Amino acid sequence: MAGRSSAAVAGLTVAALAGIGFLAFQASASAPDHLTPAHHSGASPSPSSSAPPKGKGGPGKPGAQAAPAVPADSGTGRRVVYALDARRVWLVGEDGKARRSYEVTPSTVSPSPGSYAVTTRTETTPGSDGIAVVHVVRFALVEGVTIGFSAAQDGSTPAPDPQSRTGGVRESLKDAEAMWRFAPTGTKVVVVP
């Protein structure tokens, strides 16, 4: 009798573990690519990629939302375009078409509209706000503050402390990876109002 009870308990344990494993798989399959903290009143919205949310159509498909057009006053050729008021970046190919566009969280110190070039790049470093950042692409210096695109290593995109002087224009991790691949040293960066 004890042998049957042990076998029954073992069987139930195996079945329970299989059920837990299945539920864990389902949960991970439906989880978002990245987690963002909840917003509190007064907080700035998180940047979002130009990619449509899961379950929505891609470009030209039902449910898709097209990114705004590349600003007409941003020059020609291969370039990064940063629109200050729109809080948006475009990675523009040689043909003048956007390869990618996404929202960013601006820094407290911004460059003036104009043409710049990527001056330095760093894979990983502490940001000017003390948060570890990755894929840093620097392009301007304003009153001693270096301005560049980057992503927080933990994936967060909080609004910067308005009392601090920071130059990090924050991107999502996926967008920062795209910027890193697109913009080697010397790449033109055009800042528009």
pLDDT at 157: 87
CB contact burial 26-50 (16+ within 10 A = b; e otherwise)? eeeeeeeeeeeeeeeeeeeebbebb
pLDDT band at 158, cuts 50/70/90?
A: confident
CB–CB of 157/36 below 8 Å? yes
102-141 residue pLDDT tens: 999 999 999 999 999 999 999 999 987 778 999 999 999 9
Domains of the chain, first to last? 79-192 (2.40.440.10)
